[in-house]
Amino acid sequence: MAKLEYQNGIAGIKNTKNQYIEVTPAYCDLFRYETPSIVRGLSEYQIADHALNSPYYPGECMAEDFIQQDEYVMCGNSCFIFTLEMIHEQLVASICHKYPYFENNKLAGTVFQMMLLPDITPQVTSSYLNNPNVLISKHTEKYVDVFSLAPARKYNFTQRELECLNYLVKGASAYDAALKLGLSKRTVEFYIRNIKEKIGINKMTEVVAKVISEGIVN
């Protein structure tokens, strides 16, 4: 029997066929199963049908997203994933660590560990979306948009454009922003033109008011 070392949190092991072979009691609490023994042998599709169906993203598609992640891990990769899920109709955010599971030095499946994030704010969400070391799944992107957790996605702002905006809303000039960012004034002015075009506003004071009102920047 597979044994989880991580017993005090939300975690589990799946085999190479994406069937659950062990989960922790905390996992059962989150997904509303009475005991870990009930989960053993269930497929990702059965878990999704039990807990993850929502009007925004089908449970079957959720299962396929998780299977795709597991296939990536079973190629010998370890990864951190920022994930948003509707678990029994409640939005839950977490950072999930996945890595290969071995038995007798042979690949036998995947291990996952979930750390719940208590505050799901646009600032927290953006920090993970812009982190190149964190994977983002399709269902997470969907829920980010449904719950407006990353307003900047609506305009497809780049990270540099957002950095410029952060200085501009504080009253900095293009020259000041350039100094802070280590860029030329001309480059910052290029970003400002892009920002105005994406929002559809030419006046900078109106741009600032809009991005603040929509929660794109503080």
Q: Tens digit of pLDDT for each residue in 27-73?
A: 999 999 999 999 999 999 999 999 998 999 999 999 999 999 999 99
Give the per-residue pLDDT at 213.
81
**Ramachandran assignment for 158, one of left (phi > 0), alpha (psi -120 to 50 degrees), beta (any other):** beta
Q: Tell me the pLDDT band of 1, cut-offs 50, 70 and 90.
A: very low
Q: Position of tokens 């646009």?
A: 122
Q: What is the pLDDT of residues 103-155, one digit of tens each?
A: 999 999 999 999 999 888 877 887 888 788 999 999 999 999 888 888 777 78
Give the per-residue pLDDT at 53.
86
Q: Which domains does the chain have, with CATH numbers?
A: 10-149 (3.30.450.20), 154-213 (1.10.10.10)
Give the per-residue pLDDT at 3.
67
Residue 14 has pLDDT above 70, yes or no: yes
Give the per-residue pLDDT at 214.
77
Q: What is the C-alpha to C-alpha distance for residues 80 and 102, in angstroms, rounded to an integer?
A: 19
Q: Tell me the pLDDT band of 178, cut-offs 50, 70 and 90.
A: very high
33 close to 10: Cβ distance less than 8 angstroms: no
> Residue 82's beta-bridge partner residues?
95, 136
First to last CA, the chain: 51
| pLDDT, average across residues 192-196 | 94
Helix (H) / strand (E) containing 208? helix 204-213
Over pLDDT 70: what percentage of the chain? 98
Residue 82 has pLDDT above 80, yes or no: yes
Rounded to an integer, what is the distance from CA 132 to the centroid of its chain? 12
